[in-house]
Amino acid sequence: MKCGPEYWIWLQRALGAGAVTDEIVGFFGSAEKVYEAGRNQWLESGLFSEKMCKALVSCSPSESYGIMKKCKDNDWAIITPDDEKYPPMLRSIRNFPLVLYVHGDTEVLSCPFSIGIVGTRDASSYGMDVAEAVSYNLAEAGSVVVSGCALGIDSRAHEGAIRAGGKTIAFLGSGLGSDYLKSNEALRESIAENGALVSEFLPFTSPSRSTFPIRNRLISGMTQGLVVIEAGLNSGSLITAKCAAQQGRDIFAVPGNILNTGYLGTNNLIRDGAKAVFSVMDILEGYLDKYGKFLDTRNADKSLQPCNNYVGHDNTDRAKKKNDDMKKEKSSVSVKDKQEKPVIRAQLPDYASENARALYDVITAEPKTADELSELSGMQIHNVLSALTELEMYSLVSMHEGKRYANN
């Protein structure tokens, strides 16, 4: 029997995000029935400690209405386990979330097939290119790409899926509406337009050292398999891989330089049994019997290459149309006009990150490499690469031969 979201919010607030929930919900049937049971039945069930009972009585379902109003005001959906849109993959894990707050397309949560991609925040250009290429090819084949919207590998994985015209889901280590990671705000909005931003934390909850490990089980739990790209021995991505193993999900890893400690985590996963990835077919081939009707693998066995080499590089039709319109406008201007009129540069959107703004100030019509732009802007190379991707999404810069960038 379906109960109101206020009861699920109450139960999740009392137990805390990441709590083991399958036995509790299985025993009582719903959050409302847990509430109606009362303290004596909670203790008799053997599923609640005295401390948990105190937490349950310390708050009330009526306190959930303020949270529900915030979600309504921001057009955020609330998905609970008895909702038909609740992800069936997550429902199978022991500590499934009692509440999911969603910004974007709730339908994508019921996707039949998805693959997770995770890796280090401090990624090399190799790792970034691989993440984007794997994600692009997966999305092209029909898989939803799941990651955590962090800097580095996560961000590039989401971007690859969007560029391929596919769907992507980001599980956040903070609440929706949090000010965390302002530099990724534009990407988060793009994910919401091409999939969904999802969090089990209350709206506007700030991240902490504990929220990310709690979040990681959802990235693996949502997927049939997890791909780890460029992870050192202490990488948080290995926590996600451990979650995947505990949940019975498949684990894949991209081989890296054995002399570079930044790849020790991924290389060790392969040594310990994870399947090495050299093409997307290495990931998809084991799922074709069960999910083949949802997948198009015609290009899945091709060699991985940077997404900029693919036809149809622009991430959305809107971006492509804007880029084409800008080119037509440029070509219609006569040489005389160019000489007599100052060049008026397109404006950055209001929500552009500070890194994107700083880099846009130094990019000119003369193509330059990322290293040259790093020197001109004084920005670290990984921030330059992230900002370039953001500016490409706005169709304000484009890549030329030799991986050199110039404004449009």
Strand partners, 100: 79
Least confident residue range of 36-45, 154-163, 323-332, 396-405: 323-332
**pLDDT score, position 404:** 84
**Distance separating alpha carbons of residues 308 and 41, to the nearest angstrom:** 60
Instruction: Answer yes or no: is pLDDT of 297 > 80.
Output: yes
Mean pLDDT computed over 6-12: 97
**pLDDT score, position 316:** 40
**Residue with more model confidence, 3 or 73:** 73
Mean pLDDT computed over 279-283: 95
Instruction: Answer yes or no: is pLDDT of 103 > 70.
Output: yes
As annotated, the residues of the chain forming the CATH 3.40.50.450 domain(s) are: 111-309
Instruction: Answer yes or no: is pLDDT of 162 > 70.
Output: yes
**pLDDT score, position 351:** 59
Cα-based distances in Å from 237 to 8, 134, 333:
29, 17, 50
**pLDDT score, position 393:** 67
Sheet holding 397-400, edge to edge: 368-369, 404-407, 397-400
User: Does the domain spanning 317-407 belong to CATH 1.10.10.10?
Assistant: yes
| pLDDT confidence band for 339 (50 / 70 / 90) | very low
Instruction: Answer yes or no: is pLDDT of 243 > 60.
Output: yes
Question: pLDDT, tens digit, for every residue of 356-382?
Answer: 888 998 999 889 988 888 888 888 877
Average pLDDT of the chain, as a whole number: 87
DSSP 8-state assignment for residue 209: T
Instruction: Answer yes or no: is pLDDT of 181 > 90.
Output: no
Mean pLDDT computed over 84-90: 95
**pLDDT score, position 135:** 96
As annotated, the residues of the chain forming the CATH 1.10.10.10 domain(s) are: 317-407
| pLDDT confidence band for 182 (50 / 70 / 90) | confident
Global pTM exceeds 0.95 = no
**Distance separating alpha carbons of residues 236 and 228, to the nearest angstrom:** 11
Mean pLDDT computed over 289-318: 70
**Distance separating alpha carbons of residues 312 and 150, to the nearest angstrom:** 25
Mean pLDDT computed over 118-137: 94
**pLDDT score, position 244:** 96
**pLDDT score, position 394:** 67
Mean pLDDT computed over 91-109: 96
Residue pair 252/228 in contact (Cβ under 8 Å)? The answer is yes
**pLDDT score, position 161:** 95
Mean pLDDT computed over 57-82: 95
- Per this entry, what is the length of the chain? 408
| pLDDT confidence band for 183 (50 / 70 / 90) | confident
User: Looking up tokens 């929220």, which residue turns up?
Assistant: 211
Mean pLDDT computed over 227-237: 92
Instruction: Answer yes or no: is pLDDT of 59 > 70.
Output: yes
**Residue with more model confidence, 262 or 2:** 262
Strand partners, 399: 405
Q: Name the CATH code of domain 111-309 (choices 3.40.50.2300, 3.40.228.10, 3.40.50.450, 3.50.50.60).
A: 3.40.50.450
Instruction: Answer yes or no: is pLDDT of 340 > 80.
Output: no
Burial 334-368 (b: 16+ CB within 10 A, else e): eeeeeeeeeeeeeebeeebbebbeebbebbeeebb
